[in-house]
Amino acid sequence: MGLGRPIPKLRLTENERETLERWTRRATTAQGLARRAQIVLACAEGKTNTAVAADLRLAKPTVGKWRARFLQRGGDGLLDEANTIRCGGQAELAREGEGAAPGGGGDSRGVAPVI
């Protein structure tokens, strides 16, 4: 009997397996996507997160994250998501600093525009 929380079984369709294997072999696949495909393929072999992490020299939370993401969203869950940094927030900070020092001091330092 194993210790710890039970991990959900990860079963792949033949189409999913072919896609993941292609991602790991193709030279034009982004390195991160290829690594995530390797994680899912290893998990589909029935290995634990600990075993996959040791085999691929990764942290256990990394393996758990991508196993869960694949179970929730399938292959689309392995794709890179859009950058979540808001550029507008940086522009707002630059505008706040124009013409006056923080706190209302009379110093009129210029602020370089955010490009």
What does the pLDDT look like over 14-47, one tens digit per residue? 999 999 999 999 999 899 999 999 999 999 999 9
Tell whether the torsion through CA atoms of 59, 62, 60 and 20 is positive or negative.
negative
CB 10 within 8 A of CB 70: yes
Tell whether the torsion through CA atoms of 24, 66, 32 and 56 is positive or negative.
negative
pTM passes above 0.85: no
Per-residue confidence at 109, pLDDT binned at 50, 70, 90? low
The secondary structure of residue 80, as a DSSP letter, is P
CB 29 within 8 A of CB 80: no
